[in-house]
Chains A and B, each alone.
Chain A
Amino acid sequence: MTLTKTLQTAIRALRRNITRSALTVLGIVIGIAAVIAMMEIGKGSSASISRTISSMGANNLLVMPGTAASGGVSFGAGSVVTMTAQDCEAILRDCPAVAAAAPIVRTRTQVIYQDRNWVPSFIYGTTDTYLEVRDWKNLTEGEMFQEAEVRNASRVCLIGQTILREVFQNQSPLGKELRIQAVSCRVIGVLAAKGANAFGMDQDDIILAPWTTIKYRISGSSGGQASTATSSGSGNSGGASSDSVYPGAASVFPPPADAQSGDKPMPVRFANVDQIICAARTGPEIKTAIKQITELLRERHRIRPGEPDDFSIRDMTESANALASTTNMMTNLLLAVALISLVVGGVGIMNIMLVSVTERTREIGLRMAVGARSRDILLQFLVEATLLCLIGGIVGLLVGRGTALLVQKILKWPIEASVEAIIASVAVSAVVGIVFGFYPAWKASRLDPIEALRYE
């Protein structure tokens, strides 16, 4: 008997008992619908949980310059000046596992507004991608500075909630001039509250400004880190001036007179940064990202094989592990629920198919009498069960999808459509049909035609 004919026979048989077929399918429909709805709702929740965790910085990687030592005295992490803003751009361009990267220039100094002053925990010079890296895109007021402001080393800044409270006493600071050391910067935005980090540091005690501004206007004039940078870094092959980083940038200093430049050559302004902060695309990609960044920076810094890195990469292992284990647990939980519902549905199918075999004993006997071989009977019942499961799978898929959308609409839960779940549930329903349909079909095929024909 050909497969098409078996299929026709199966469809006819199912149509003859349409009510029973529908009831049988119901089990699978509910099973698959539960799986799809659970997967979509679960994936949505899982994604929102991992977004929450990664906003705590779990996906972040910190690339720091290496250690300098002189006469056996180490100057500690970050004491060599090898990282540049170009490194940051290269990381973003050449490391596929990195979603975003921002350079950071740090300083610590006093800020003054009218009669109030404050020393913020963090004064970061960075680019507009910093907020993306830190997953901190929501501002309560104003907006982030853009690339043009970084090029021009504009005197603008964003402030955190603590600064807003302490310096501006919760008055809107937009457009006000905040003096950082001796440089007056216009406040263009206020960051949303982020609270303390894992070590109790107040993350809202922060000022963000273009890194060029911090580097060349603020810390440069204070002579702090910039002087070490120029002294040890000028002439370094990896070094570059700000002009080559941002071609066409406005000149920060007035052009020197000929005599002046002849008398006192202008030092190359070495555009090093204190660190680069990167965000891996996903938690599991952190390891790949580290590998890619290491390879890239070794190549850019021309480090020969065997020589130690002149930089170090730190990841947030603790938070990253929390992220990974949460995601894993959610996935396993969903898988368990899915399996249970499918097994229940499958047992339902087997149950009904067994009843069906008993009820149709005479039909089986007749089919055997007119020439059906046992494998024809086996195939017919197997195809019937599989067909039921497939129909159930497809209907269940629609019902599940509908339920998930309804949940999203009414309960406002996040959902996420899952193509894998859709493919898997259809495949699984077919497999369930074959597995749980096999025993009844086998039983049917083993009937003795004489007994079957006489069965009442």
Chain B
Amino acid sequence: MTGPLIQLKDIRRTFHMGEVDVHVLKGISLTIDSGDMVALTGASGSGKTTLMNMLGCLDRQTSGEYFLDGEEVGGLSSDKRAVIRNRKIGFVFQSFNLLSRTTALEQVMMPLAYTAAGMSDRQARIRAKEVLVQVGLGERLDHTPSQLSGGQQQRVAIARALVNRPPLLFADEPTGNLDSKTTIEILAMFDQINRDEGITIILVTHDPTVAMHARRNIRLRDGQVESDIASPTPAVRLNTVSEDAAAGAAP
């Protein structure tokens, strides 16, 4: 927790739908510290997806300023934002978004191909294997998505998000397609990543139980921050989840 990783100043986003202007974000100012674990919640249409897209450098604000790691990224060109996404941001999606008929190892290696630094194929393979072992899939490097369970698929997706060692990880409804037991496993994994690697995690969810695993809970309503509170006794929650996960993950 060293200084703010994300700083938003009066962010607004307006979509032009024909004649009508739809104001989705109406002046959001936030600061998220490095190493934090934040849940972004809100009802449908509250603007949380739009905010996540913006935080994830997929979209640009209409007005306001967005500092990521001290750099104003809202005004960057799309190519420069692609580089930022590659180096600083990992994405985990509700629907996993894995490539069909592609082995877990190749899925995880994929972002490395776009890394400017350039990594040899062998180095990329070693790094991808390392991350897959870290998420507990060391035995399933050559499995394709159809040969993996939902939880395993999501772990491949997490490995893919982590392979470039980003300081920031976005998870958009990461447990939306998973059963409750797997949900606990995946959340435990986020806790572990957050604790061990110091990676800042932003969970976008409308599930209050998932949101409670975060230390901080930001709630949006009508494009504005409705509440921004610390979760009750995060340490206790973390511990219980870790134990549950340990019990569930290694039978």
Contact = CB atoms under 8 A, between A and B. Distances in A.
Interface string B104-127: 001000110111001001000000
A376 B82 CA distance: 10
B157 to A, nearest CB: 10
A370 B59 CA distance: 14
Interface residues of A, number: 24
A1 B85 CA distance: 15
B121 A8 contact: yes
Nearest to A449: B58
Given A16-B99, A373-B83, A453-B93, A367 B114 contact: yes
Interface residues of B, number: 28
B111 A371 contact: yes
Interface string A355-391: 0000000110111111111111000000000000000
A160 B80 CA distance: 87
A357 to B, nearest CB: 15
Could you say which of A371, A449, A453 has the most chain B C-beta atoms within 10 Å of its C-beta?
A371
Interface string B63-99: 0000000000000001100110111000101000101
A15 to B, nearest CB: 8
Contacts of B147: none
Contact of A374 (B79, B97, B160): B79
B177 interface: no
A239 to B, nearest CB: 82
A9 B109 CA distance: 11
A8 B56 CA distance: 28
A366 B97 contact: yes
A371 B160 CA distance: 12
Contact of A372 (B87, B91, B101, B114): B114
A264 interface: no
B82 A450 contact: no
B100 interface: yes
Interface of A: 1-2, 5, 8-9, 12, 16, 362-363, 365-376, 449-450, 453
30 contacts: A1-B113, A2-B118, A8-B113, A8-B121, A16-B102, A362-B97, A365-B97, A366-B97, A368-B82, A369-B58, A370-B86, A370-B91, A370-B111, A370-B114, A371-B82, A371-B87, A371-B111, A371-B164, A372-B82, A373-B78, A373-B79, A373-B83, A373-B114, A374-B78, A374-B79, A375-B79, A376-B82, A449-B58, A450-B59, A453-B93
